[in-house]
Amino acid sequence: MTLTKVKTLYDQDFALWIEETVEHLKIGNFSQIDLINLIEEVESLGISQRKKVNSFLVRLLEHLLKRCYVDLSECYRGWEIEIRNFRRELKREFKYSPSLKRFMLEIFKESYDEALESVREDYPYILFPDLCPFSNNIDELLNNKFWDH
């Protein structure tokens, strides 16, 4: 198969393009690999993981803020379930890509600001702290019940 035909395959049948690319990589047939699209796909995987971590972190911080600052006891259980779920998702991402922990620390303040903006919009009568009251220590953030303190 010529390189031109491989590039067309990428556009016409992505699943088949992946199969053939993997096969070429396994046998060392590098001249038949569509490097431009392969590089793009590998880069997008990294971006996708970072987007997931960012989204899970923002949602976790939103629910921690609600659970710790909004006095609606009928909502506590639901918020605690969401906290557990977002923690589980973050732990899963870190299990397979531990280097994403560094990324989470890099975006922590920005993620807190985004979460804060969201909860202030939903609960304008609540005074949420401008500075994050939760530890950015990953183990603490993913395990502590901040509302028990």
pTM for this structure? 0.80
Band of residue 46 on the pLDDT scale cut at 50, 70, 90: confident
pLDDT, residue 2, reads 54
- Using pLDDT thresholds of 50, 70 and 90, give the confidence band for residue 11: confident
DSSP 8-class letter at 31: G
Mean pLDDT over 102-123 rounds to 97
Measured at the CA of 61, the angle between CA 132 and CA 90, to 5 degrees, comes to 125
Tell me phi and psi for residue 131, to 5 degrees: -95, 140
| Predicted pLDDT of residue 24 | 92
Average pLDDT for the chain:
92
